[in-house]
Amino acid sequence: MALKTTLEQLESVQAAIASSENALETSKGDKRLVRQRLETLYAREEKLLARYNNEQNTGGIAFNVGVPGRF
């Protein structure tokens, strides 16, 4: 079994989130379990997004990078 890239992992987590959100809207059963699953998925998504942004070097805005002596 091949390892998934960060983007593939992120897409899987986002698909699971969408599925869980739909289940939460339509089910009347054990909503607590779905909410707990969503909290776990949201935390995983946040970590994967941070990792993906880091890999893509899009983690934030940089000012005056590479311009020495500019004040």
Mean pLDDT in residue range 48-59: 81
6-36 pLDDT, tens digit each: 999 999 999 998 888 877 666 566 666 677 7
Domain ranges across the chain? 6-55
Per-residue pLDDT, averaged over 38-66, amounts to: 79
- The pLDDT value recorded for residue 67 is 55
Whether 70 shows a pLDDT value over 80: the answer reads no
The model's pTM: 0.62
Q: What percent of the chain has pLDDT over 70?
A: 65
List the structure tokens of 29: 């059963």
Alpha-carbon distance of 12 to 32, in angstroms, equals: 22
* Angle between the N-to-C axes of helices 31-55 and 6-26, in degrees from 0 to 180, rounded to the nearest 10: 160
